[in-house]
Amino acid sequence: MLKLSIYRDSSMAKPTSNSLKKNSGTSGGLPKLVPTTAESAHKTATFNKLYRSVMIKHFGDINQAGKRMELMFAKPEVETPSGLKASAVSTRAFKGSSFKAILPKLYTSPFEIIFCPDTKQSMYCQILFGLIQRNEVVMIGSIFASTVVRNIKFLENNWKELCSNIKTGQISEWITDSGCRNAASLILKPNPELADLIEDVCSCKSWEGIIRKLWPKTKYIGTVCTGAMLQYTAELEFYCGGLPLVSGFYACSEGAIGINLEPLCKPSDVSYTFLPNMVYYEFLSIKEDCDTDSQNQVQLNAMSHHEDTGPVDLVNVKLGQCYEVLVTSSMGLYRYKVGDIIKVTGFHNNTPQFQFVGRQNVALGVDMERTSEADILKAVAEAKALLDPLGLILTEYTSYGDTSSTPGHYVIFWEIKPKEGNNNNNNGKELDPKVMEECCSKMEDSLHFTYRMYRKENMIAALEIRVVKQGTFESLLDYFVSKGASLSQYKTPICIKSKEALNILDSRVIAKFFSPRTPTQDN
């Protein structure tokens, strides 16, 4: 019988081809290199055709209807010691000859802006070009929901300057990248009427439905909203004015794995259907089954494997069971641990369908307990509902286990903003301490039995919520991008491991709250 010790995880895989992909590194560690071949590129093209056919079925052929305002950010290639070129997965796609051919016709952003090395200048210009072509935009999106939200926040802070550029036909002087300036010169002409229209929309008291107001022909928002991205759905729904949030596919640097055959379903209900012709799948069974709560959010009760079983083939997975995904691919990966935990939710014909649960290597722990990414996601979802009566919305969060004192405790960083208006000067004064303390208690009540038992026995101290200034998570993103992460692939870490990232968060804390009681034991 095969032992777990021989399975190669992502840190052991070695490049075996003529080029390399680099993952984001924000899910649970440093960026890793993944080999790629001509055959893997062909499979990606096959996946794109399958995905497009599903979208045409539900939305028609948007390629014939207008343009996509997809927010895309490329990172420069790096050269490995062996002389191979390595780049982010998204960057490889953007550099492809087929993508370059369709870019001017189907997308609002030109090549020069996507490859601008300054992400702020690139973001500004992509939004500017999207506004100028607002009547042609039929789809808005990015790879991850966090990127869409960040761009809307950027627009919220810079719409006056953007309107001034459109009105005068001159781009701001701080846009110094030659590619951006040259591209802008081809499209930016004085248009006071359009500037006034955008100004009227953006100057309203509430930005609820702002996407539909600015881009009236948009059919849907295309972005991953499942897993760790669920935290952004409430804010996206606020901004999009009823437009569908479409999580169309599940993919990773190791390959395209699943497709959503029901793109109009709610993000919390999304199940992906495995694509068995992309890679060869095997699965390591998780010791405890997954439970799905009343809000359709998946919770892992344990993250350990069955020690007495080997890998399970795709045709032998069981409904309701959780597994860690292994892939063997034409890129030279053999039983490669992707690090993702999935739950089998059903079957399309005979093909298994699944929900993404979380990352195997992402967990909090300050004693003997282990708290999964899904546990944290569920607890935050329960607690943030208490902000509604205050007119506040939770925009971002992350966590870490503080063991600097005994006993240790969980720290959850929250970035909060008002639902109404464009107030970017949140200083924490409007936060009701009793409500915030109740948020702490609500999170603890929602965590797993082991955590609650350890809290009752004083083996874990009270959970703490630290509220940070608005814009803090943008600074966190900037830090990870500076370390090599691609903005297109960036995901806010659910659990912070980097000391530098933790320092960024701690330096911007404006209020601290602790749970005033031990959690309940009856759930």
**For 297-361, what is the HEC assignment?**
CEEECCCCECCCCCCEEHHHCCCCCEEEEEEECCCCCCCEEEEEEEEEEEEECCEEEEEEEEECC
Instruction: Provide the pLDDT for residue 240.
Output: 92
Q: Residue 229 pLDDT more than 60?
A: yes
Instruction: Provide the pLDDT for residue 346.
Output: 95
- CA 312, 229, 216, 91 dihedral sign is negative
Instruction: Provide the pLDDT for residue 141.
Output: 93
Mean pLDDT of the region 372-387:
88
Q: Residue 490 pLDDT more than 70?
A: yes
Q: Which residue has the higher pLDDT, 126 or 15?
A: 126
CA distance 340 to 228: 12
Lowest mean pLDDT, pick from 46-50, 419-423, 492-496: 419-423
Which pLDDT band holds residue 295 (cuts at 50, 70, 90)?
very low
Instruction: Provide the pLDDT for residue 198.
Output: 97
Find the length of the chain: 523
Mean pLDDT of the region 331-345:
85
Q: Residue 48 pLDDT more than 60?
A: yes
CA distance 52 to 45: 11
- CA 234, 236, 240, 245 dihedral sign is negative
> Which residues are bridge partners to 399 per DSSP?
412, 495
Q: Residue 297 pLDDT more than 90?
A: no
Q: How many helices (H) and strands (E) does the chain have?
A: 15, 25
Q: Residue 261 pLDDT more than 50?
A: yes
Which pLDDT band holds residue 273 (cuts at 50, 70, 90)?
very high
Instruction: Provide the pLDDT for residue 16.
Output: 39
Cβ contacts of residue 28 below 8 Å, gap of 6+? 339, 359, 361, 362, 493, 497
Instruction: Provide the pLDDT for residue 327.
Output: 87
Instruction: Provide the pLDDT for residue 438.
Output: 95
Q: Residue 14 pLDDT more than 70?
A: no
Asked whether the whole model's pTM tops 0.75, one would answer no
Nearest to 168 by CA among 122, 118, 202, 132: 132
CA distance 15 to 175: 38
Task: Name the maximum alpha-carbon separation found in the chain.
Answer: 72
Q: Which tens digits make up the pLDDT trace of 71-101?
A: 988 877 777 777 777 766 667 677 776 777 8
Mean pLDDT of all residues belonging to the chain:
83
Tokens linked to 472: 């803090």
Phi, psi of 499 (to 5 degrees): -65, -40
Half-sphere exposure of 455 (CA within 13 A, CB side): 25
Instruction: Provide the pLDDT for residue 441.
Output: 95
Mean pLDDT of the region 484-508:
85
Q: Residue 251 pLDDT more than 90?
A: no
Residue 227: CB atoms within 10 A of its CB come to 27
Instruction: Provide the pLDDT for residue 100.
Output: 76
Instruction: Provide the pLDDT for residue 362.
Output: 63
Of all residues in the chain, the percent with pLDDT exceeding 70 is 84
Q: Residue 179 pLDDT more than 50?
A: yes
- Cα angle for residues 148, 106, 260 (degrees, 5° grid): 55
Half-sphere exposure of 224 (CA within 13 A, CB side): 21
Instruction: Provide the pLDDT for residue 29.
Output: 44
- Cα angle for residues 93, 98, 102 (degrees, 5° grid): 105
Which pLDDT band holds residue 144 (cuts at 50, 70, 90)?
confident
Instruction: Let me know: does 341 contact 328? Beta carbons within 8 Å.
Output: no
